[in-house]
Amino acid sequence: MTGRASHAFGRLLAALALGGCAVMFAMMLVIVADVALRNIAVPGLPRGVEWSNEVSELMLYLTTMLVAPWLLRQGQHIRVDIVLTALPPRLAWYLEWVGDAIGLACCLFMTWYGARAALASWREGALNIKTLVTPEWWSLAPLPITFLLLSIEMLFRMKRLHEGERAPRRDAVSAA
Label residue 76 by pLDDT band (50, 70, 90).
Answer: confident
Q: Is residue 84 part of a domain?
A: yes
What interhelical angle do 89-124 and 142-163 show, nearest 10? Answer: 160
Residue 136 has pLDDT above 60, yes or no: yes
**pTM, rounded to two decimals:** 0.90
Q: Is the dihedral of CA 26, 152, 142, 108 positive or negative?
A: negative
Backbone angles phi, psi at 44, to 5 degrees: 90, -10
Q: What is the mean pLDDT of residues 94-123?
A: 97
Label residue 174 by pLDDT band (50, 70, 90).
Answer: low
Q: How many domains does the chain have?
A: 1
Q: Is residue 168 part of a domain?
A: no
Q: Whole-angstrom Cα distance, residue 93 to residue 22?
A: 37
Q: Is residue 30 part of a domain?
A: yes
Q: Is residue 58 part of a domain?
A: yes
Domain that holds residue 10: 2-163
What tens digit of pLDDT does each residue of 61-71 get?
A: 999 999 999 99
Q: Is residue 170 part of a domain?
A: no
Q: Is residue 93 part of a domain?
A: yes
Residue 104 has pLDDT above 50, yes or no: yes
Q: Across the chain, what does the average pLDDT equal?
A: 92
> Which CA distances in Å does 30 have to 35, 37, 41, 50, 130?
9, 11, 17, 10, 17
What tens digit of pLDDT does each residue of 23-51 get?
A: 999 999 999 999 999 999 888 888 889 99
3 state DSSP class of 115: helix
Q: Beta-strand (E) ranges in 12-146?
A: 127-129, 133-135
Residue 16 has pLDDT above 60, yes or no: yes
Label residue 170 by pLDDT band (50, 70, 90).
Answer: confident
Q: Is residue 88 part of a domain?
A: yes
Per-residue three-class SS string for 15-66? HHHHHHHHHHHHHHHHHHHHHHHHHCCCCCCCCCCCCHHHHHHHHHHHHHHH
Q: Please report the pLDDT score of residue 1 as a whole number.
A: 61
Q: State the amino acid at position 17 in one-letter form.
A: A
Q: Please report the pLDDT score of residue 42 as a whole number.
A: 85
DSSP 126: -
Q: Is residue 171 part of a domain?
A: no
97 in Cβ contact with 158 (< 8 Å): yes
Q: Whole-angstrom Cα distance, residue 11 to residue 5?
A: 10
Residue of 145, 171, 151 whose CA lies nearest to 64: 145
Q: What is the mean pLDDT of residues 95-118?
A: 97
